[in-house]
A and B are shown apart, each in its own frame.
Chain A
Amino acid sequence: MTRPRTLYAKIWETHLIDERSDGSCLLWIDRHVLNEGTSIQAFDSLREAGLTIERREMHLAVADHAVPTDERGGPLPAGTRSDRILQLERNCTEFGIPHIPYLSTRQGICHVIAPEQGFVLPGMVAVCGDSHTATLGAMGALGFGIGTSEIEQVLATGTLIQQPSKTMAVEINGILGDGINAKDVILHLIGVIGAAGGTGYAIEYRGSAIEAMSIEARMTLSNMSVEAGARVGMIAPDEQLIQWLHGRALTPRGAEWDEAVAYWRTLPTDPGATFDRIVQIKAADIAPQVTWGTSPEHVVAVGAAVPDPESFADPTRAAAAARALAYQGLQPGTPIQAIAIDRVFIGSCTNARLSDLRAAANVVRGRHLASHVEGFVVPGSTRIRRDAEEEGLDRVFIEAGFEWRHSGCSMCGGAETAPPGTRIAATSNRNFEHRQGRDVRTHLVSPAMAAAAGIAGHFVDIRQFGKGRA
């Protein structure tokens, strides 16, 4: 009998090429996704050093951070952002790397399309020069974000030098309440363990609430692991995931599919395997969450109020809270539901998949944005946009007063911003200072909560919203 192992350990061990005496490990990388934001300098370095690509077919490039989402089809507007998109395309052509063009029907946010295309599969190690690569953990893969120096290593060698992480089990058992989204689950977790709670750990989400979650919801959860400090947020592959992957463009076929599935079924953490830390959360304790500050750990349930910085015992936390409230223009004690918003942003690699758009559309159908609120819906991929249009979701949003846009990172990554002072209910992942534009105030929420805030003009409890209506 081999000793019981975690999902993380199983994947790590099958990819271990060499372990050095200093504790560093050379890891085989199966898949690498590139975007235009962080890869340019890596290609420059390869060129300067005269290096070539070790395994071309393991890479897939797509532009997402800089793409305009207001119009698609015409020439790119002049400017540095467009230059980055074109430079990515030139780099991929020069180095022979597979690339989804900006105008392709397969374009989308890299962490949305990598699973959508079946590019990343259970048991793989997948990396990308973006911290939200943690999303790929929902594929039962070991996915993590890397820097530009590491992008260069992956391009030139197909490997990375890494050190094993500690492991953390986040066990969520029970049944999530009505109206509770995976976004609320991850924000609640960050509220419990803090924005640095997962630093140095690879998280594995486990428990009956995770098993019951759709694959798209699991991606929301894994995605924001990095906001809890963890580079990695994995979920064991199960029959639901295998069904979800079947038939996608890049998944194996025939006998290879059967072989893969048989292997995937061996991946879940063995009974008796141990974790360095275990965090247990009752699903029933999770209410809709709203962030009030400038770190994702600045979060409370929708029924609560903005905390008083003086209520934090730790002086650095108190100072951070005071700074956050000054930036956010909020007074301690203000009920969350009394905070009026100017804009709704439904998008990002966290919450712009079809189920997210459906959840938001169900809230706004037959209603209209409050008169002082603007709304933007930015689908996570061009395919999601098309699928949503086939269901008529575009009409629902447009009739409610939203702009229906093309796929890209948009108002999450800072490529598209709001005027100073705008207060946004956002389904994205970061409420950092100036993240959505200079002096813009971000509140992170689920898609349904964002949509409801847009209709009401202020935050509302989605569990009470529209009660009595069909």
Chain B
Amino acid sequence: MSEPLTIVEGIAAPLPLKNVDTDIIWPGLPGLSLRRGDQARNAFARLRFDPEGAERPDFILNQLPWREAKILVAGSNFGCGSSREMAVWGLVEWGMRCVIAPSFGDIFFNNACLNGLLPVILPENAVEAILATITDPERSVLKVDLVAMRVTGSGFNLPFMLDEHRRRCLLHGLNETGATLQQIETVRSFGKSYADRFPWTRIEGEKIA
């Protein structure tokens, strides 16, 4: 479904904030489309643009070289809050392929891996060091290698971890719906025994609504 991801190499932008919630990443502004493909301008819309829609020159992601960033480096608990997958679509459509942070909101983390956005967890002190490094335009290029599981930049080369399932999703751009539909007979036979065991979980459609 999403574009396969093996190596992301490019400018990394520093966003040294904690608890960057999905309202900040994708503000639910009036009139916004909720659809994939329409989200590039909506990523960080309130930080990038003033209420009249003009770019805010003081926001680092509007400045060169970071406005060309493919990688975002942020504080802990990035993507906390609302489940809105538009936050991930917005970042990807805008050009991001990787976010590095000490921790992520659980739902955002899942959404990212299903949409070709690599979430990399590194220790807090490592993230702080990277933030300091990439704030220097001359040292703002990072390479994140999902095959070798390493982040390299000016003066550092760090390993990271990602569970094998999510790693495969990203490497191959896998669609979980398609993969599960190939197993649908297993699902249906499970469903039969489940219904025998827990008949009270069945519900009649006409009763519901």
Contacts and interface: CB of A to CB of B under 8 A. Distances in A.
Interface residues of B, number: 69
Interface stretch (A176-184, A212-220, A427-435, A444-452): A427-435
Contacts of B30: 80-81
A44 interface: yes
A249 B104 CA distance: 38
Interface in B191-205: 191, 194, 197-205
A196 B19 contact: yes
A260 interface: yes
Given A57-B204, A131-B83, A316-B16, 7 more contacts: A17-B187, A84-B34, A130-B82, A130-B83, A199-B103, A263-B200, A319-B18
Interface in B1-56: 1, 16-19, 21, 23-24, 27-28, 30-36, 46, 51
A432 B19 CA distance: 10
Interface in B154-209: 163-165, 168, 176-177, 179-181, 183-184, 186-187, 190-191, 194, 197-205, 207-209
A249 B208 CA distance: 8
A356 interface: no
Interface string A72-108: 0000000111001000000000000011110010100
Nearest to B19: A295
Contact of A156 (B16, B104, B177): B177
B136 interface: no
A37 B209 contact: no
Interface in A5-41: 14, 17-18, 20, 22-24, 26, 28, 30, 37-38, 40-41
A282 interface: no
A256 B80 contact: no
Given A57-B208, A146-B83, A256 B76 contact: no
A5 B179 CA distance: 31
Contacts of B115: 149
B114 interface: yes
15 contacts: A24-B163, A41-B36, A56-B205, A57-B203, A119-B208, A124-B201, A146-B83, A147-B107, A150-B111, A157-B187, A161-B179, A199-B104, A320-B17, A430-B23, A435-B23
Contacts of A148: 85-86, 111
A163 B165 contact: yes
B62 interface: no
Contacts of B27: 414, 434
B110 A195 contact: no
A259 B197 CA distance: 10
Contacts of A241: none
Between B18, B24, B76, B114, the greatest number of chain A beta carbons within 10 A of the residue's beta carbon is seen for B18
B81 interface: yes
A147 B35 contact: no
B105 interface: yes
Interface in A225-244: 226, 229-231
Contacts of B180: 26, 153, 156-157, 159, 161
B168 A22 contact: yes
B84 interface: yes
A51 interface: yes
B205 A98 contact: yes
Contacts of B34: 37-38, 40-41, 84
Nearest to B201: A30
A146 B129 CA distance: 33
B75 interface: yes
A316 B201 contact: no
Given A18-B183, A60-B209, A41 B176 contact: no
Given A150-B114, A157-B181, A121 B200 contact: yes
Contacts of B203: 57-58, 119, 250
Contact of B82 (A131, A250, A317, A433): A131
Contact of A149 (B111, B179, B187): B111
Contacts of A157: 177, 180-181, 184, 187
Contact of B83 (A23, A129, A152): A129
A413 interface: yes
Contacts of A161: 165, 176, 179-180
B165 A23 contact: yes
B7 to A, nearest CB: 21
B88 interface: yes
Given A152-B177, A158-B187, A430 B81 contact: yes
